[in-house]
Amino acid sequence: MASSFGAARTIIHVDLNAFYCAVEEQNDPALRGRAFAVGARAQDRGVVASCSYPARRCGVRSAMAMGLAQRLCPHLLVVSPRHAHYRAVSAQVMELLRGFTAQLEQLSIDEAFLDVTQLVAQNRIAAGKALALEIQRRILDELGLSCSVGVASNKMVAKIATDCGKAAVNTGHSPHALCVVEPGQEAQFLAPLPVSALWGVGPKLEARLKDLGIETIGALAKWSERDLMRRFGRHGADLSQHARGLDKREIVTERESKSISSETTFTQDVEEWEDLHEALQEQAQGVALQLQKQKLHATTVKLKLRWSDFSFSTRQTTLLFATDAAPVIQEAATALLARLWAGAEPVRLLGVGVSGLSPIRQLGLFDSVVEEAAPVETPAPQENPPVEAEPRVPQERQQRLQEAVALLEARFGSDAVHRGARREEGSH
Ligand SMILES: [Mg+2]
């Protein structure tokens, strides 16, 4: 875990610009300056995994259905994704970044946080900015890739800074943005932004906040924390803190962030509880099987839902005891599903995941209490066989699976996505 010197930290968020597209442009320079999207074709129910800046000027966005993208941009070129290649290039970027500090959290295939507090202990933010510029220069010089960078005193503000920096550069070219938020300026920086810029504020929560007359982060920051807690439970406290630019979350290095999950992208949106529950059951069993194979127990169960409008919702819960039992994971996931899904709302993707992994100890059932209190330890990599073993699925399904994985990686971080379960594609 990253150590922080008191409350003052310096966090750098790095985000590669239109990453898949940038890699494809390296491979085929004729693509430069063209409106193109990486993703499966519309007739294969493809979605835009990444789009070039000229395509963005036509309104094309990541995670948009390819059919819609092609209507918005009739001359759009569609390039098939090569995920294994992107992962290899991503690994080079992460290796370069780890050269700066081991306190690195890879957030997705093309994003990472670096806690550089110890590197820039003196003159923190100015030194952080200099380091950010150096990171941008080296990624460009050594790997030929453009990235945008945010620097701030915590993860949330650093990431939002990157997003703001990118949004401020609207040239139709790679933004290569750098945005620095000085310590003490966090709340002021966030105040004019929409509440949806905050982590954890999806369309539903955004709508509920709007009903209260809260549209900007500044307006949310003025609301009483007690009242937010009354309305939104524990999440209300987070909301209040985040709106004021406070985020205590530390860098979670790769070793600490291992998770196992299973997702189903439905070929047709699902609206029935029974269908969702059936998929969830299989996913819980698949995840439990992976835990058992790897001799691991998990303490956290997470549920992910992707709605028909492509927005995501997630919920997670911490178990009383670490487990590798399918019924326990299933029960926790079912409770989360019941909380997230009010019925009748079409679901495009469902996923069950577990984290907080620790090696199984030879203890009896009732010794779990002892295990709960013991420090959680992640096994060394060699003890942990790759969970990304390729399942035997036909080429086309594999392709669609990779799309789903890419989207999940984009949303939840690379370690959140493993193809571990028996079933990755729904038969509904
Ligand atoms: Mg990116």
Task: Identify which of 178, 187, 182 has the alpha carbon closest to the alpha carbon of residue 10.
Answer: 182
User: How far, in Å, is the centroid of ligand 1 from the Cα of 3?
Assistant: 27
User: How far, in Å, is the centroid of ligand 1 from the Cα of 16?
Assistant: 4
Beta strands across the sheet bearing 104-108: 104-108, 111-115, 11-16, 147-152, 178-180
Window from 37-46, 98-107, 114-123, 418-427 with minimum mean pLDDT: 418-427
Tokens of 326: 């399918």
Separation CA 121–CA 325 (nearest Å): 45
Q: Which of 25, 111, 263, 425 is catalytic?
A: 111
User: How far, in Å, is the centroid of ligand 1 from the Cα of 344?
Assistant: 33
pLDDT of amino acid 331: 93
Flag whether pLDDT at 13 surpasses 60.
yes
Q: How many CB atoms lie within 10 A of CB 395?
A: 7
Which SS3 state, helix, strand or coil, does residue 269 take? strand
Separation CA 78–CA 406 (nearest Å): 16
User: How far, in Å, is the centroid of ligand 1 from the Cα of 108?
Assistant: 9
The pLDDT tens digits of the residues spanning 209-267 come to 999 999 999 999 999 999 999 998 777 888 999 999 999 888 877 656 678 999 998 98
User: How far, in Å, is the centroid of ligand 1 from the Cα of 103?
Assistant: 20
User: How far, in Å, is the centroid of ligand 1 from the Cα of 127?
Assistant: 24
User: Mean per-residue pLDDT for 359-385?
Assistant: 35
Write the DSSP symbol of residue 375: P
Cα angle 125, 156, 174 (rounded to 5 degrees) comes to: 80
Exposed e or buried b per residue across 60-95, where buried means at least 16 C-beta atoms within 10 angstroms of its C-beta: bebbbebeebbeebeebbbbebbbeebeebbeebbe
| Residue 275 buriedness (CB in 10 A; 0-12 / 13-18 / 19+) | middle
User: How far, in Å, is the centroid of ligand 1 from the Cα of 277?
Assistant: 34
Residues with CB under 5 A from ligand 1 (ion): 15-16, 110
User: Mean per-residue pLDDT for 103-127?
Assistant: 86
Q: Which residues contact 71 (CB under 8 A, 6 or more apart)?
A: none
Judge whether 111 counts as a catalytic residue.
yes
Separation CA 179–CA 104 (nearest Å): 19
Flag whether pLDDT at 335 surpasses 70.
yes
User: How far, in Å, is the centroid of ligand 1 from the Cα of 110?
Assistant: 5
pLDDT category of residue 388 using cuts at 50, 70 and 90: very low
0.75 exceeded by the pTM? Answer: no
User: Mean per-residue pLDDT for 323-341?
Assistant: 92
Residue found under tokens 């370069």: 96
Separation CA 405–CA 386 (nearest Å): 16
Flag whether pLDDT at 385 surpasses 70.
no
Contact by Cβ (8 Å): 303, 312: no
User: Mean per-residue pLDDT for 391-412?
Assistant: 43
Which domains are seen in the chain, by residue range? Answer: 11-18+84-187 (3.30.70.270), 20-81 (3.40.1170.60), 194-243 (1.10.150.20), 257-416 (3.30.1490.100)
Which SS3 state, helix, strand or coil, does residue 302 take? strand
User: How far, in Å, is the centroid of ligand 1 from the Cα of 157?
Assistant: 17
pLDDT of amino acid 322: 82
pLDDT of amino acid 121: 77
User: How far, in Å, is the centroid of ligand 1 from the Cα of 204?
Assistant: 25
pLDDT category of residue 170 using cuts at 50, 70 and 90: low
pLDDT category of residue 380 using cuts at 50, 70 and 90: very low
User: Mean per-residue pLDDT for 160-170?
Assistant: 85
Separation CA 210–CA 204 (nearest Å): 10
